[in-house]
Amino acid sequence: MNFTAVYNQIAILFLLIIFGYVFGKVKIISEDMISNLSKFILDLALPSLIISAMMIPRTAEKFKGSLIMLIIAFSTYAGSYVIAKIVSKIIKSPKEHKGIFEFSLIFSNVGFMGFPVIATIFGPEPVFYAVIYNAAFVLLVYTLGISLVNTSEEKVDFSIKDLINTGVMASIIGYTLFALAVPVPEVIKGVFSLVGNTTTPLSMILIGAMLSTLPINKMFNNWRIYIIAFIRLFVLPLITFFVFKPILGMDNIELVGVAVIIAGMPVAANAALIAQEYAGDPEVASQCVFISTLFSIISIPILSLLFM
């Protein structure tokens, strides 16, 4: 793996975020367009990428790897939850921001940014494992994530319907095709691959456009967010590396790599959307997304050095 090549690819992704930010500021990308673009990515592009990533020959190694990745994902989220609670107390988080800070430490940007970065660093095949990891993310972000961010006195009731969305359905369909070794015509593979490949540029542009809605003078004024970003981008992935590498060894270094890079992604882009819907503070959530995304251009290439 060539460090310069990886850094160049990460820089390209970051420049796409800058483009989105500029286009959002000058209103080429309007708020309505941000909403529609988000729906397109979530309901078509990202599900296509998920299914496309799972249209691979089933092997005993891949099947075993998918089960190991689920264990890694849930273990990582459990560890992150404990760390988030500890950090929240140490930095004396204000009551109204406590849940958002904990959410930011637990949930990284798996789909919008994680998938393309994984593909950039390791190639297209390991995206399969990132998709498996994403299944755990979806399950937890719409249950635990909402309960953390919600500051209203009303209890949030969950039902199985809350977990049924295009991302979950795509994961089920894709994994079924993989597990049962269902033959898929090349023309169908080509369609899903082509549509799925739009996820990377559109996601980066969307993140930039979403960040453009923040007042520039309020982006950098919360010192606690810098601590959150440092732990999110450096501490958590390093803990993941030093915990799982000795356990899994070099034979499973691809699994370790995917887990580490996902653990080192910026704060999940939907943090602000969840905060908006469940009486949280969307401005602070957006700051967490922005600051962590900004510094990820430094952290991600450094993390990639672990696998060179």
Structure tokens at 217: 């003078």
The distance of Cα 287 from the centroid of its chain, to the nearest Å, equals: 16
**DSSP letter, residue 221:** -
Predicted model pTM? 0.85
Task: Count structural domains, the chain.
Answer: 1
Residue 216, Ramachandran bin (φ over 0: left; ψ between -120 and 50: alpha; else beta):
alpha
Q: What is the pLDDT along the chain (308 residues), one digit of tens a residue?
A: 566 777 777 788 888 888 999 999 999 999 889 888 888 887 898 889 889 888 888 888 889 999 999 999 999 999 999 999 999 999 999 988 999 999 999 999 987 788 888 888 888 888 889 989 988 898 888 788 888 888 766 666 656 666 677 877 888 898 899 889 899 999 999 999 999 889 888 888 887 887 788 777 777 888 999 999 999 999 999 999 999 999 998 888 899 999 999 999 999 877 877 787 776 777 788 889 889 988 988 999 899 888 87
- Over the Cα atoms of the chain, what is R_g? 18
Assign residue 31 the CATH number of its domain: 1.20.1530.20
The whole domain housing 128 covers 3-307
